[in-house]
Amino acid sequence: MNFFESQRLARAQSKRLVLMFALAVLAVVAAIDLTLVLVLFAGQERGEVEALSFTQILSANTGALIGGALATAGLIVVASMFKMATLRSGGSAVAQSLGGTLVSSDTRNPHHRRLRNVVEEIAIASGVPVPQIYVLEQEAGINAFAAGYSPADAAVAVTRGAMEKLTRDELQGVIAHEFSHVLNGDMRLNIKLMGVLFGILVLGIVGRKLLENMRHVRDSKATVPLLVAAIAVTLIGYTGVFFGRMIKARISREREYLADASAVQFTRQTQGIAGALKKVGGLAEGSKLENAEAEEVSHMLFGDGVGYSALFATHPPLVDRIKRLDPQFNPSQYGEIARRWSAPVDVLALDAEMERSGIAGLAAGAAVKAGSAKAGAALPARKAELSVNPELVASQVGNPAQDDYRTADAIHQQIPKALQDAAHDQTQAMELVFALLLDNDPAISARQLSMIASHAGSSAMSTTEELLPKVGGLHPMSRLPLAAMAFPGIRRFPRPNLEQFTALLEKLIHADGKIGLFEYCLAKLVSSQVTDLLNPTRATAIGKRKLIQCREQIGILFSIVAAFGHDDEPSAKRAFAGGINSLFQQSSPGYQVPANWVQALDGALPDLDALDSAAKEMLIEALVTTISTDGQVAVGEAELLRVVCAGLHCPLPPMLVAA
């Protein structure tokens, strides 16, 4: 399943979630009203007056029943909205609610550094910003999750058990599994599910709290009705628990097999993720989480963190998952795993030993670390041209595979340590982005530096100037990944600083409208990621608009890309026609480069980002056709394509697949 099909499935699942939520609310409301009628029926005095029938009580108390139904539904909706509000800050809020500890970008903890390097490399290979990284230090089980509304506000959390028990290959398999959820739209659905289910479960929570507080009530006459009410509310609340667990099982179970398969496709080997799953089954701690809030996130986890029965299981049976990866697996192997791994093992030393012996899969980027020359060989020459196929390139979106991880590792090694340190340093992360955006024209860059001094201070301007020569020597394929590495440091600034940062980015890219197209797109990309971070609930990668509704905006984008990619107007027009004619059979827009292309793109990109997934897939194929009219794509053009795709929330891996 490719990225665009996954997005369509995620939208369909969102609709099913709304339907199932509505049915669950109706079931809880019906249970409340039925209980009320039964209480009224049982509470009648049996005397000379004939007791009312069940139906008569129902008709006599219609108003009360409607009021009870509305109050119950209102409580559920308000509780869901409240929970969604607490999750407004995105993935970090979920990780922190489980006691997650943020891994600082400059950490010296060797386990944390290994985890950070794995996450960074997989993010670069996926074409998304590096997420915030958390460790659940109190959890000995092997587990992990990704949470957030979009890649810009995503957080990846792993347990202490995962760091201490998994080799690097196994950790990579787990993180690749979680990135599948980030890329395929599962993550946004999962965090919405948390908010929705809280509303359904709220009556059970209220009933449980009432029962817990019963011991404080001393009046025996008041105790009985309160006890009855508490028990009734608790029992009815379990109706919500039943439906809540059923919804989670229905939504999440089928996605786990896909995420496992994506991890194998990404890492090019099954031993990593299969090994992690085998350790989950073989060790006493398994994947269980001890945190009391574990049930809320059970549908997000890599492994079953709660221990549901088969009916409510949010994950497929563990043995089934393993056998899909290793058909020869026998559960009797759990005993050997327990014998070898129950005692503490130095996995860092084991990683180093595996690397020296040459038996590690992707461990520590062994192939790249063999020498700098070999590392450089993984990337094409700066002026190289790539032979590409538009359909194959579109299939790469959100779908890293084959050598994408090794390419990301090579890019990581190509970036000088001074720039990596700047990306990891919160005080320099913003200035690093500024340096990436400065124009090659000295007059324009001087004006931009003046803007930086005016809005961010002379210190920011000085740091930007210091970084500029180092950025100038970067391989073109390293610029976007470097910005992705800087994003965790940027996102830790307070909201006012982030708003000032995006405002300054806008000013820099509008400096006389003479900034290069790549720099413009990169600035818009970083700005949109910060905007998604500031308003995560509004961020979405799944639009509804059709191509015909964005005809004018598509014409603007294709005209500008064709003009920047060709030296003369006839060649640009041929390239434009080659791409645009594949989208529109009739009434296709004409080639026309706006006089103020910066302003024109400012207006066009948000509309194009609102296209539905099928339209985006066709758009990207056509855009590749425009860029590769002669069947070749220069490295600079490939990077421009990646930036445009990222701006459309369609992350493209660093190396375009050859035709």
Alpha helices in 131-167 (DSSP H): 160-165
| Nearest partner of 201 among 85, 299, 295, 301, judged by Cα | 295
Residue 32 has which token pair? 């409340």
Q: How many CB atoms lie within 10 A of CB 420?
A: 18
Tokens 């449980």 identify what position? 208
385-387/632-634 β-pairing: antiparallel
| Nearest partner of 272 among 326, 220, 230, judged by Cα | 326
Specify whether the backbone of 631 is left (phi greater than 0), alpha (psi in -120 to 50) or beta: left
Give 470-503 as a DSSP string: HHHTS-HHHHHHHHHHHHHHHHTS-HHHHHHHHH
Helix (H) or strand (E) holding 1: none
CB contact at 8 A, 420 and 130:
no
Helix axes 476-491, 635-647, angle to 10 degrees: 30
CB contact at 8 A, 506 and 499:
no
CA pair distance 401, 397, nearest whole angstrom: 10
Q: Is 637 noted as a catalytic residue in this protein? A: no
Instruction: Tell the burial category of 444 from Cβ atoms under 10 Å away from its Cβ (0-12, 13-18, 19+).
Output: middle
Looking at residue 300, the DSSP 8-state letter turns out to be G
Q: What is the Cα 530 distance to its own chain's centre? A: 14
Q: How many CA atoms lie within 13 A of 94 on its CB side?
A: 34
CB contact at 8 A, 228 and 214:
no
Residues for the chain: how many in total? 659
CA pair distance 3, 182, nearest whole angstrom: 11
Pick the catalytic residue from 120, 178, 637, 639.
178
214: helix, strand or coil: helix
CA pair distance 80, 93, nearest whole angstrom: 16
Helix (H) or strand (E) holding 17: helix 3-42
**Dihedral sign computed on CA atoms, order 53, 55, 60, 63:** positive
Catalytic residue list: 178
